[in-house]
Amino acid sequence: MNTLIFIFITLLSLFLASFLNVVAIRIPKGESIVFPASHCVHCEHRLGPLDLIPVISFFLLKGRCRYCQAKVSYIYPVGEMFTASVLVYTSYKVGWGLELLIALPLMAFLASITISDLLYKIIPNKVNLFFFIYFMMVRLFYYPQPPLTYLIGMLVGGGLLLLIAIVSRGGMGGGDIKLMAVVGMALGWQPVIVSFLLASLFGGLIGVILLLAKVVKRKQAIPFGPFLAAGIFVTYFWGNEIILAYLNWILRS
């Protein structure tokens, strides 16, 4: 990918990330993403273009509102930088082609639900539904695997988590179940299973570390969405290598 395209994608990703941040922060609160226009949550002053440059405005204004000097949450620039890095990496790794129609929205989706789940412990229905419809439409005309793979993916993804929710009596939220149904529709049933296993592994490891560090108490619920997102991210880029390595290991032992 040449440098100019790379810079263009980086800038575009930053603005997209900033928009997704707004989605992640406003939708769970039941607010519209368009109205009111971006404003300071303290003084409600409407923000101008110079206040809305992703990441840069935050540092130029030293993390304060230009109008009332109230502190702006660091979640905005951190969320924007995180989302933009994921999008830039994805464009670079996937390269130019139809697959970007799946890869970029998928990563945008994962970044947005990670922020919502960390902030509010919610994966919004509206966001799940929006991406579900989007991926279903793309899969109507672009399917590297037989179309049925994606339909089964939706059933396996949603079904697996629903089963765990029933068995664990609410250990898994409705948002998580729908999230995995959406991802099944986007990627098919094989990646959904690998993602879930990886997410459980990550969740278990981090859970133990947080318990030992006494950051969380036993029985305290940790949002599972970010772990699912991490599992899906790793599976999307390295899923085949992981499956091959695993099969090799089984066959040798």
Positions in the binding site for Zn ion (CB under 5 A): 40, 42-43, 65, 67-68, 70
Instruction: Name the region of 95 (left: φ>0; alpha: ψ -120 to 50; beta: rest).
Output: left
- Point out which residues pair with 64 in neighbouring strands: 71
Output the smallest distance, CB 84 to Zn ion, in A: 25
Distance CA 145, CA 153 (A): 12
Output the smallest distance, CB 19 to Zn ion, in A: 21
Q: Which is nearer to Zn ion, 26 or 39 (CB)?
A: 39
Determine contact, residues 151/186, Cβ cutoff 8 Å. Answer: no
Tokens of 245: 């390595």
Q: Which is nearer to Zn ion, 62 or 169 (CB)?
A: 62
Q: Which is nearer to Zn ion, 70 or 215 (CB)?
A: 70
Output the smallest distance, CB 69 to Zn ion, in A: 7
CA-to-CA dists, residue 96 to 14, 49, 85, 101, angstroms: 19, 31, 17, 10
Helices and strands: H and E segment counts in the chain = 9, 0
Q: Where are the beta strands (DSSP E) in the chain?
A: none
Q: Which is nearer to Zn ion, 42 or 121 (CB)?
A: 42
Output the smallest distance, CB 42 to Zn ion, in A: 4
Distance CA 186, CA 200 (A): 20
Chain centroid to CA 193 = 17
Query: Which residues, 6 or more positions from 197, have their beta carbon under 8 angstroms from its beta carbon?
Result: 231
User: Which residue type, as a one-letter code, is found at position 177?
Assistant: I
Q: Which is nearer to Zn ion, 70 or 98 (CB)?
A: 70
Output the smallest distance, CB 158 to Zn ion, in A: 42
Q: Which is nearer to Zn ion, 51 or 80 (CB)?
A: 51
Output the smallest distance, CB 77 to Zn ion, in A: 16
Distance CA 108, CA 185 (A): 16
